[in-house]
Amino acid sequence: MCFQCGTCTAGCPSGRRTSYRVRKLMRLAQLGQKDEIVGSEELWECSTCYTCVERCPRAVPIVDIIVALRNIAVSEKHIYDNHKKTAQNLYKLGHTVPNNDKIKALRKDLGLPENPPTVMANKKAMDEVVTLLKASGFDKIVE
Ligand code: SF4
Ligand code: SF4
């Protein structure tokens, strides 16, 4: 569907700050250049803001494609340490951002419980999260 007009790249905020060119990524995908894509830093420079999807004249599901490509990359062990740490937090805590002492003190000042009323305060729900992540193979990817 992509006819390489470049509208996506023209409006991409990530491309304004980096060498990332989403049009090029779509072209590589069209050409089946999997090895070049899964090993590239560019694959991770999209912030999934959806500006390109809103503007694409051919209604290419660009972000869906990027997510699919990222899934392929991770399944082939192309994952950055920081991304892995964030994923490990989800597996261990049910949140990608841990609740630390500073945040707990701020919450207390605001009259809130130290932990938010999410899986952090509900062991049964957290156990269910772990069960789901294990069923999907997520634990093996991030261990
Ligand atoms: S994905 Fe859409 S906006 Fe981007 S180059 Fe292709 S047709 Fe143009
Ligand atoms: S979704 Fe990604 S590729 Fe599209 S405009 Fe936003 S940062 Fe750029």
What contacts 80, CB < 8 A, 6 or more positions away? 44
What does the pLDDT read at residue 104? Answer: 94
Instruction: Report residues of the chain scoring pLDDT below 50.
Output: none
Q: How far is the CA of 42 from the centre of ligand 2 (A)?
A: 11
What does the pLDDT read at residue 17? Answer: 87
Establish whether residue 70 lines the binding site of ligand 1, counting it when its CB lies within 6 angstroms of any ligand atom. Answer: no
By CB atoms closer than 10 A (0-12, 13-18, 19+), residue 79 is: middle
Write out residues with Cβ below 6 Å of ligand 2.
Answer: 8, 12-14, 22, 46-52, 62-63
Q: Supply the pTM of this predicted model.
A: 0.83
Classify residue 77 as left (phi > 0), alpha (psi -120 to 50) or beta.
left
Q: Choose the residue to mutate in 49, 50, 70 for probing ligand 2, maximizing ligand atoms within 8 Å of C-beta.
A: 49
Arithmetic mean of pLDDT over the chain: 94
What does the pLDDT read at residue 142? Answer: 83
Q: Where are the beta strands (DSSP E) in 1-143?
A: none
Which atom of ligand 1 is closest in space to residue 1's alpha carbon? 7
